[in-house]
Amino acid sequence: MLNKILPTIIADNELHSRWLNTLSLMENTGARKISASEDPLTVTYIILKHAAEEHRHAFYLKKQLEKTGVTLPTYAAEYLLAPGSSKYYLNQLDVDVCRYLKTELNLKGAELRFAAYLLVTYAIEVRADELYPIYQDALDEAGSKVNVKSIILEEEGHLEEMINQLQHFSPQWELHAQKAVEFETKLFNQWVEQLGREIDR
């Protein structure tokens, strides 16, 4: 469905600017969630790197707005696409994964925060590895000046790093990661449906 929506978004500078701003919001939310899950004493190089790169993606997408000729100053609802679903999506994924980890692995406190960071981030990186190349293909097709190639390269690296961390976290990491992907897929589909409804208005 995203394949059908993206050409419509890219063809309209106002929609395209709100789409970029929405992606920026989501990258920024992800970066803030990573930072919130850090243990102040044991935070690792990988976690710091990952948070910094997600913040950079949020900034980079905001910077790409200039190429649409539309300025959107904040992440206020009127400057986003599907604002309700866009803001709800990552927060709800976090809630779903935490609930699963509490029930299945009886985790709490710092252990729960770290495990949730691993699984939520893994699910988001799997999605990013799919979404950004689809978006880039649509940009190329439309001859747009906007590009997300640098994000694609970094997201591929992030996924490898998450798999490596998950392998150390649990011998059953694939089972837990698949559960996180299931939660994310449901939320992503709801988000795309809301995008479609908003664009069809």
- Global pTM value: 0.93
Q: pLDDT class for 59, splitting at 50, 70, 90? A: very high
195 contacts 6 by C-beta, under 8 angstroms: no
* Residues 79-123 pLDDT 10s: 999 999 998 899 999 999 999 999 999 999 988 998 999 999 999
Measure the CA–CA gap between 71 and 38, rounded to whole angstroms: 33
* Residues 13-26 pLDDT 10s: 999 999 999 999 99
- Which of 201, 190, 196 is closest to 86 using CA atoms? 190
CA distances from 144 to 16, 80, 102, 107, 191 (A): 10, 20, 45, 46, 24
Measure the CA–CA gap between 124 and 155, rounded to whole angstroms: 10
* Residues 31-45 pLDDT 10s: 998 888 877 888 888
* Residues 131-188 pLDDT 10s: 999 999 999 999 999 999 999 988 878 888 889 989 998 999 999 999 999 999 999 9
